[in-house]
A and B are shown apart, each in its own frame.
Chain A
Amino acid sequence: MNAIKKFLGIVWMLLGPVIILFLFMQASDKIAVAAEGIARTNTTLQWSIIILIFIPICAGLVIFGFYAWKGEYDKLPES
C-alpha cells in the first residue's frame, strides 16, 4: 500500500499543473466565444474567479503529492 501511496504522489504532483493548464485553455476558448457575442455567459470575470480560486488549491495538491511521494502518509500519527 505504501508503494501505491508514493506512486500516486507523483500523479497528484502532475495533476495540479495539468488542471490549471486545462482551465486556462477552457477559459481562452470560452471567453473568445463570448467576445464574439455568441454567448453572454463565460465572461472574463467569471473565468478569472474560477482560475484564481483553483491555482492555490492545485498548488496544495502538488504539495500533497510531494508529501505522499516522500512517504509522509505511510504511517499516520496516533492521537
Chain B
Amino acid sequence: MTADKNVTQNITQVIAASSLGTLIEWYDFYIFGSLAVIIGQQLFPSDAGASALINTLAIFAAGFIVRPFGALVFGRLGDLIGRKYTFLLTLVLMGGSTFLIGLIPSYSSIGYAAPILVLILRLIQGLALGGEYGGAATYVAEHAPVGRRGFFTSWIQTTATLGLFLSLGVIVLTKNLLGAEDFASWGWRIPFLVSILLVVVSIYIRMKMHESPVFTKLKAEGKVSANPLKESFQKRANFKMVLLALFGATMGQGVIWYTGQFYAQSFLENTCKLDFNESRYILLWAILFATPFFVVFGSWSDKVGRKWIMLTGMLLGVLCYRPIYQYFLDATNVKEMQKTALKSTSEPVVERGLVKDKLDSLITTTVVKTLDNGITFRESNVVILPDDILAPVPEPQTVIKDVTLSGQTYITVILLVFFQVLLVTMVYGPIAAFLVELFPTQIRYTSMSLPYHIGNGVFGGLVPFIATLVASFSGSTPLSGLWYPIGIATLSFIIGAIYIDNRIDKTVMD
C-alpha cells in the first residue's frame, strides 16, 4: 500500500514537472500563430495584403517543418546522454528564441531583415520543440506503471492544447488591457517577452528531476545505443514501424489537431469576419470544456486499445468538417441576413484620408448594424476619388468586419468548435502511449519523435498555410481549404485501420 502511494506520488511529480515545461514550450510556439495577422502587418510592407498573411503563415509553418530535424538532433542526444538533460536544453533554446522574437524591430525600421530574423528564431523554436515532446512523453511513459500508460501520458497530451489556451488567454488579456491600437503597435510583443519568466520557473523545476529509471537501467547495463539514428532508420524492423506510425496515425492526428484548434479560429476570424476577441473566446471555451477528454480517452485506451479511439476521431473529422464549416459560413453571412432582418443602424462615422503613396482621396463611411437575432457587425463603405478629376471613379467597396454573435448562434458555434477539439482529444489523447509502445528503449526518443513531428508538425502545422492558399485559388470556395485535412485524414484512417494492431504493450522495458 505504501509502495503504491510512493509510486503515485513519484509519477505525479514526474508528470507535473514534465508537463509544465512542455506546456510552456507549446505556449511559446503558438503565440506566433495566434498573432499571425498582427505580426504580418509588422514584418511585411503595409500594402502586402493577403500575401503578408500567407507569408507570415509560411514563417509560422517553417517552425513546424524543422521540427522533424529537432526530433533527430535531440532525439539522438536523448538516447545517448539521457532524457532529462536533453529536454532541459530544448527548454532553454525555446525560451531564448521566443523572448528574442518579442524584441525584433518591425519592417518599417529594418526592412526585410525583420522577417528574416524572425524566420531564423522561428526555426530555432521548431528545432527545440522537435526535441521536447518526444523526451517528455518518453520520460513519463517510462515512469508509468503497467496498464496505466495511456492515462499517465495523456497528461502530457493536454499540454499542447493548454499551451494554446494559455497563449490565447495572454493575448486576449494583453489586448484588453492595452487597447487595440497599442496592442497592434507594440503590445503584441508582451506575450513573447513574458515567456522568459515562465521558462526560468520551468528550468528550475526540471533541474530537480531524476533521469528516467528505464534509461538509467539501460545505461548501467551498458546497453545504450551507440548510434540511435542508424538503428532507427537503417534497421528495417524499426524503420517500417516509423513509417507505419507516420502514415497510419500521426499524419491524420496532425491535421485533425490543427484543423480543430487553429484553422477553426483562423476561419472564424478571417473568412467569417468575426471580431478578434470573439473568435478567440469561442476557441477558449471549446478548449476549456474539451481538455479533460484527453485524459478520458488516454485512460480508456488502456482498456480498449489505442487504435480505434484514434481512428474514430479521424473518421468523424472527415465526415463532419464540411457541414460544420458550412454552418459557420451560413451563421455569419450578415450580408444576406441584413436584407430581411436588419434591426438598427448606428450613425455613420466618416473618415477622410489619402490612399497610401498616392494623392487619391480615400473616404470611409462606417456604420454599426444590429440584426434581429442580436448579431452586430461593422460595415464600411470605402470610396476612392482619384486626384486626376478626369480619371474614372472606382466602384465603392463594402467591407464587413468585427461580427459578434449572440444567443443560440454563439452557443452553437462554441459547441461545433468544442466538437472539433473533442475529436482532437480522441486522436491525440492515446497517441503518446501508442508511439512509446512501438519502439524499444535504446532508440525510443529518436524513433517516436520523428513520425510524431512529421505528422503533427509538418502535416498538421501546414493546415492553416495550405488551406488558406487553396482557398485563394481562383474558382475555389471558402470551404475548399478543407480538402487538405480531409484528404490526409482519410488516407491515414485507411492505412491505420488496415495495418495497425490494436495492441497495448504490457511493458516498455525492452
A residues sitting closer than 8 Å to B (CB atoms) are 1, 4-5, 8, 12, 30, 33, 38-43, 45-46, 49-50, 53, 57, 60-61, 63-64, 67-68, 72-73, 76-77, 79
> Chain B residues with Cβ under 8 A from A39's Cβ?
472, 474
Distance of A33 Cα from B499 Cα, bound (Å): 41
B475 to chain A, nearest CB (A): 11
Known: A41-B472, A79-B437, A79-B510. A73 touches B58 (CB 8 A): no
> Chain A residues with Cβ under 8 A from B462's Cβ?
50, 53
Cβ A72 vs Cβ B240 within 8 A: yes
In the complex, whether B348 has a CB less than 8 A from a CB of chain A is no
Distance of A77 Cα from B191 Cα, bound (Å): 46
Interface of B, secondary structure class, is helix
In the complex, whether B382 has a CB less than 8 A from a CB of chain A is no
In the complex, whether B49 has a CB less than 8 A from a CB of chain A is yes
Distance of A38 Cα from B510 Cα, bound (Å): 58
**Contact partner, A38, options B51, B54, B474, B498, Cβ 8 Å:** B474
A21 to chain B, nearest CB (A): 16
> Chain A residues with Cβ under 8 A from B507's Cβ?
79
Q: Mask for B489-509, Cβ within 8 A of A = 1, else 0?
A: 000001100110101011110
Known: A1-B498, A33-B474, A57-B458. A46 touches B237 (CB 8 A): no
> Chain A residues with Cβ under 8 A from B48's Cβ?
40
Cβ A30 vs Cβ B473 within 8 A: yes
Known: A50-B466, A53-B458. A40 touches B474 (CB 8 A): no
B383 to chain A, nearest CB (A): 23
Cβ A46 vs Cβ B246 within 8 A: no
Q: Mask for B43-54, Cβ within 8 A of A = 1, else 0?
A: 000001111001
Cβ A41 vs Cβ B498 within 8 A: no
Chain B residue nearest to A52 (CB atoms) is B65
In the complex, whether B243 has a CB less than 8 A from a CB of chain A is yes
Cβ A41 vs Cβ B469 within 8 A: yes
B451 to chain A, nearest CB (A): 10
> Chain A residues with Cβ under 8 A from B58's Cβ?
45-46, 49
Chain B residue nearest to A47 (CB atoms) is B469
| Residues from 223 to 280 in B contacting A, C-beta threshold 8 Å | 236-237, 239-241, 243-244, 246-247
B498 to chain A, nearest CB (A): 6
Query: 11 A-B Cβ contacts within 8 A?
Result: A5-B499, A8-B498, A39-B472, A41-B54, A41-B472, A42-B469, A60-B247, A63-B243, A76-B241, A76-B503, A77-B237
| Residues from 432 to 489 in B contacting A, C-beta threshold 8 Å | 437, 454, 458, 462, 466, 469, 472-474
Chain B residue nearest to A30 (CB atoms) is B473
B253 to chain A, nearest CB (A): 15
> Chain B residues with Cβ under 8 A from A40's Cβ?
48-51
Cβ B243 vs Cβ A67 within 8 A: yes
**Contact partner, B501, options A43, A50, A76, Cβ 8 Å:** A76
B278 to chain A, nearest CB (A): 26
> Chain B residues with Cβ under 8 A from A79's Cβ?
437, 503, 505-508, 510
Known: A39-B474, A49-B58. A5 touches B51 (CB 8 A): no
Distance of A39 Cα from B48 Cα, bound (Å): 11
Distance of A26 Cα from B418 Cα, bound (Å): 34
A3 to chain B, nearest CB (A): 11
> Chain A residues with Cβ under 8 A from B244's Cβ?
64, 73
Cβ A53 vs Cβ B65 within 8 A: yes
Chain A residue nearest to B509 (CB atoms) is A79
> Chain A residues with Cβ under 8 A from B437's Cβ?
79
A56 to chain B, nearest CB (A): 9
Distance of A33 Cα from B49 Cα, bound (Å): 17
> Chain B residues with Cβ under 8 A from A57's Cβ?
454, 458
Distance of A46 Cα from B23 Cα, bound (Å): 30
Cβ B499 vs Cβ A43 within 8 A: no
**Contact partner, B499, options A30, A46, A50, A68, Cβ 8 Å:** A68
A78 to chain B, nearest CB (A): 8
Cβ A73 vs Cβ B499 within 8 A: yes
> Chain A residues with Cβ under 8 A from B61's Cβ?
49
> Chain A residues with Cβ under 8 A from B55's Cβ?
46
A11 to chain B, nearest CB (A): 9
Distance of A30 Cα from B472 Cα, bound (Å): 10
* 17 further A-B pairs in the complex, CB-CB below 8 A; given A41-B469, A46-B55, A64-B244: A4-B498, A8-B494, A39-B474, A40-B49, A40-B50, A40-B51, A41-B51, A43-B51, A46-B54, A49-B61, A49-B65, A60-B247, A64-B495, A73-B240, A76-B501, A76-B503, A79-B510
Distance of A8 Cα from B248 Cα, bound (Å): 13
3 smallest CB-CB distances across A and B, nearest first, come from: A79-B505, A64-B243, A40-B51
Chain A residue nearest to B244 (CB atoms) is A73
> Chain A residues with Cβ under 8 A from B62's Cβ?
49
B432 to chain A, nearest CB (A): 16
Q: Interface centre among B58, B495, B499, B505, by most A CB within 10 Å?
A: B499
